[in-house]
Structure 1
């Protein structure tokens, strides 16, 4: 079988690893090609499919809110159901970052980018995230991989890592100098020139502004008001209190739990620290264990499909899910790790024993 040409960053890799990567990439591409031959409408209507999922997910979020408002859905079911729709919007955002929908129509493309941000206000600006994410693909597992390090990849497990997964803002606030260092390492590696470095240094720390500030502010207000009531306080503004609770159940809490599920999976299935630059074999593992189903339900099986994306970026998320089983066979046959939960003890190091210093 003819092997694909190495990508530019892979030219330094040992021949054995380069050949395995090329073979995996070619075989995954073959699976996707066969799927497209069997289902030719997928390629013809990729923009329409993405738009339909985008609109359908927003309708799902609004529908859940309406059903909760009239008493059909209880609060816990509303949070979980809405979290699922939001996980689809996350996948749409990820595909948009890779320009898989409306590549030639900037208005539609940017409208969808804005939409996925408005309904997931706990997340960073998607236009800022595009630069972070493309750099993640380029430098996955290394010191400048801000996208993954920012969600705790590479940290030793403990109270700070758990806090950061539960609440990104509190995690950053608890160790502000760590975040400054991560941003500086990212800017130093990602910037194309001094002017670009200045721009990245300015825009990256503001990635959570303004929507995340509003989201987390309302979330903390909700918690504070409930604690006040729990300890015997009297609520004066009943209408505002009801509106805050409604917003918390229908958007704030679903975003918090969805974000935790995604960050828990992503930060632990990616390796960090002793990863050879551009060696895709060392960047991720595959998670298929049944105990992960609850978290995978709210991040659209991220741990089961994301390794496919690292080898071959071209396919939208629903195609990756459709070809997942066959691609997982390919990954397993060529030595990609599955269910390596020792990574929790090793602070996500690739080596069977953590090598080098581990960030506390």
Structure 2
């Protein structure tokens, strides 16, 4: 993949501004904790949020099954506590709760994994910590899997809306992110992906057949066992699958709209995010806990819990904007997440970016069946590919097994003799590549966080 734009320089302003933002965030955090000492009890707060979210999901499901609330309201209400569980999962990945009790973290991971019906939290830990080391680079697998760098077309919409839409771009990403083993990733996603797709596809097939039977004046319930089997599928779809579809779609749309990609320097947090807090995206922010407005805070200080981050974001927003952090850059979508702005096209691209969110809201979710057909087609191709390899007795372990290859960054500087010239961050880049090539355990989270902060 070629770099279209000139990479911004890792200059003194970017470094000093990043450090100043970090100081402001930490000062705001300390002041907030001093005013409300109970915020120091992070383990207890985590337990309360975790338990309350599960209870709320159970309550809303009960109200729906008892006929007190409609299906649409149920989907919306359950998506809200699900967004809290996602934030808890993210904080546990960064080892912010129960550091001395790893079994509690694993227990919470298990419940969250089931509730979200998505990828394994243990595998996501590997990708997410590498995302902080490689944010915005060609080998930032986690963000590219959710659409970072794609043009705003039907493919990006499919990747954004479908919970497992990353399958559509995973082959291309693995060519740049050599540490990404596609077989391993698919195996970790398979359990919940199969459950999610079985429930949703059965739901849609039943309703499609229902309309056909109704048109032909037949009763679909005359089919053997359908009256006992389908109600279970229907309730699981309304109470679990569709709330996750709404939550995941909103989260991905916000995430891939607030990260910059490809033409930013390695290890420079200053260029990695923007502040996206316009009223225009509030419908999406509602179901991902205001992600796009606060995620930049997390990139600067990864050790801050999500509930404190939202108070801090409001207090340091003016400082960040004064230092040059971008705010509500809707043109990011039409630039394929590139940082470089064309002044002549900027206003038009910002308008098109707003149209993109409107299209996702009005068309993206209603066209879910189309995106699911694309994912199913890609999945079938992958299955046939594996079968062919097996029939020809090829070693499946060779599939994307390039883990010992050196990670590539955006650009290598080569002198006239053909040798690679080291940069001022060469030692840190070596650490980045070493840690990104191999699994990052929970015990290494502090080392990763400290390395990211030091790089600023």
Normalising by structure 2, report the TM-score.
0.69
Contact 1:268 1:344 in 2 (8 A): yes
Map of 1:107 onto structure 2: 103
Map of 2:202 onto structure 1: 221
Contact 2:254 2:291 in 1 (8 A): yes
Q: Is residue 159 from structure 1 mapped to residue 154 from structure 2 by the alignment?
A: yes
- Please say which of residues 71-80 and 223-232 is displaced more in the overlay: 223-232
Deviation at 1:281, TM superposition (A): 1.5
Q: Please give the alpha-carbon distance, in whole angstroms, between the structure 2 residues aligned to 1:314 and 1:39.
A: 18
Deviation at 1:290, TM superposition (A): 0.8
Map of 1:180 onto structure 2: 171
Q: Show CA shifts across 1:197-218 (max 9, x none).
A: xxx5652232312112211221
Map of 1:300 onto structure 2: 289
- Structure 2 residue aligned with 1:149, among 115, 133, 144? 144
- Structure 1 residue aligned with 2:121, among 115, 123, 126? 126
Q: Is residue 291 from structure 1 mapped to residue 286 from structure 2 by the alignment?
A: no
Q: Is residue 321 from structure 1 mapped to residue 313 from structure 2 by the alignment?
A: no
Deviation at 1:112, TM superposition (A): 0.8
DSSP-derived class of the 1:336 partner: coil
Contact 2:257 2:292 in 1 (8 A): no
Deviation at 1:91, TM superposition (A): 0.3
Map of 1:258 onto structure 2: 247
Quickly say closer, same or farther: Cα 1:144–1:210, change in 2 above 3 A: same
Deviation at 1:170, TM superposition (A): 5.0
Q: Please give the alpha-carbon distance, in whole angstroms, between the structure 2 residues aligned to 1:258 and 1:201.
A: 25
Q: Please give the alpha-carbon distance, in whole angstroms, between the structure 2 residues aligned to 1:263 and 1:14.
A: 31
- Structure 2 residue aligned with 1:208, among 173, 185, 189? 189
- Please say which of residues 131-140 and 321-330 is displaced more in the overlay: 321-330
CA RMSD of aligned residues (A): 1.8
Q: Please identify the structure whose Cα radius of gyration is greater.
A: 2
Q: Please give the alpha-carbon distance, in whole angstroms, between the structure 2 residues aligned to 1:322 and 1:18.
A: 24
Map of 2:396 onto structure 1: none
Deviation at 1:296, TM superposition (A): 0.7
- Structure 2 residue aligned with 1:30, among 11, 27, 31? 27
- Structure 1 residue aligned with 2:336, among 330, 334, 347? 347
Q: Please give the alpha-carbon distance, in whole angstroms, between the structure 1 residues aligned to 2:77 and 2:85.
A: 13
Q: Please give the alpha-carbon distance, in whole angstroms, between the structure 2 residues aligned to 1:245 and 1:32.
A: 45
Q: Please give the alpha-carbon distance, in whole angstroms, between the structure 1 residues aligned to 2:136 and 2:236.
A: 37
Q: Show CA shifts across 1:295-352 (max 9, x none).
A: 1110000011101001111110000112221021221121111100001211111110
Q: Please give the alpha-carbon distance, in whole angstroms, between the structure 2 residues aligned to 1:102 and 1:350.
A: 38
Contact 1:36 1:42 in 2 (8 A): yes
Contact 1:222 1:244 in 2 (8 A): yes
Map of 2:48 onto structure 1: 52
- Please say which of residues 281-290 and 212-221 is displaced more in the overlay: 212-221
Deviation at 1:184, TM superposition (A): 4.3
Map of 2:233 onto structure 1: 244
Q: Please give the alpha-carbon distance, in whole angstroms, between the structure 1 residues aligned to 2:266 and 2:16.
A: 16
Map of 2:18 onto structure 1: 21
Map of 1:77 onto structure 2: 73
Deviation at 1:106, TM superposition (A): 1.1
Q: Is residue 98 from structure 1 mapped to residue 94 from structure 2 by the alignment?
A: yes
Map of 2:349 onto structure 1: none
Deviation at 1:20, TM superposition (A): 0.9
Q: Please give the alpha-carbon distance, in whole angstroms, between the structure 2 residues aligned to 1:228 and 1:201.
A: 36
Deviation at 1:294, TM superposition (A): 1.1
- Please say which of residues 200-209 and 283-292 is displaced more in the overlay: 200-209
Q: Is residue 135 from structure 1 mapped to residue 130 from structure 2 by the alignment?
A: yes
Q: Please give the alpha-carbon distance, in whole angstroms, between the structure 2 residues aligned to 1:306 and 1:340.
A: 15
Q: Is residue 282 from structure 1 mapped to residue 271 from structure 2 by the alignment?
A: yes
Q: Please give the alpha-carbon distance, in whole angstroms, between the structure 1 residues aligned to 2:330 and 2:165.
A: 26
Quickly say closer, same or farther: Cα 1:186–1:119, change in 2 above 3 A: same
Q: Please give the alpha-carbon distance, in whole angstroms, between the structure 1 residues aligned to 2:205 and 2:160.
A: 20
Map of 1:7 onto structure 2: none
Q: Please give the alpha-carbon distance, in whole angstroms, between the structure 1 residues aligned to 2:33 and 2:339.
A: 34
Quickly say closer, same or farther: Cα 1:153–1:216, change in 2 above 3 A: same
- Please say which of residues 315-324 and 301-310 is displaced more in the overlay: 315-324
Normalising by structure 1, report the TM-score.
0.87
Map of 1:195 onto structure 2: none
> What 5-or-longer segments of structure 2 have no aligned partner?
1-8, 215-219, 346-409, 411-456
Quickly say closer, same or farther: Cα 1:227–1:298, change in 2 above 3 A: same
